Amino acid sequence: MKNLTTHFTNITKGIKDSRPILQGISYNAADNSMSATDSIRLLQVKVGPVPATYIQDPTTLEFLEGTYPDVTRLFPQINENITIRPNTIEKTLLPMLKVLKEETILLSIKDKQVSILQENNSKIGDFYLDGYPEDQVIACNAKYLLQAIAFVIDCDKFGLTREPVIFNYSTPVRPFLFATSCYTYLVTPIRRS
């Protein structure tokens, strides 16, 4: 996928100097994956054989010294019963999110309907899930959700996977994710008082 580096760079470019190892993409030969995290988002993609384990800055292509955090412990147990179709993401969800800036939005899940609301509760739009989701309200950064959605759409367009996308969540303070057998894109919600 030609935009893969762009998606990883969207995550790593905002990293502060206090955690320079997170400015890199972790290549892991043990599970043939690439990972990037900024402690708020995490993207892991299963790729073809990774010949060695290393960390590389996607903008400078320099190899970074240090130990990358064990990102596998961040993934919740995935409930594969709640899915969203990639064409729903592109035709419904993407246009709604494109009008938003870096603001807090709410995902209000009731029955199979997800309403996207601004913080003042004005509705932006709805989309639907397949399966049996539990009612929940999750607050998140609109820009981060848009970047996750853009990644999911790119994966579908480039044929990385054609399977339904799992939408997994548990509580309003635990990360939610979009996942297939090829990738996992995790977003940490914003805590609300």
Residue range 117-132: average pLDDT? Answer: 88
- Using alpha carbons, select from 173, 81, 169 the residue that is nearest to residue 131: 81
Buried b (16+ CB within 10 A) or exposed e, 58-95: beeeeebeeebeebeebeeeebeebbbbbebbbebbee
pLDDT digits (tens, 9 = 90+) for 66-122: 999 998 888 877 777 899 877 778 888 888 888 787 799 999 999 999 999 988 888
Among 15, 43, 3, 4, CA closest to 187: 43
Residue 159 has pLDDT above 80, yes or no: no
pLDDT at 1 over 70: no
DSSP conformation letters of 83-97: EE-HHHIIIIIHHHH
Residue 18 pLDDT? 77
Q: Output the average pLDDT for the chain.
A: 88
Q: Can you tell me which residue has the tokens 């994710």? A: 177
CA atoms within 13 A on the CB side of 22: 20
Instruction: Give residue 160's pLDDT.
Output: 63
pLDDT tens figures, 34-46? 999 998 999 999 9
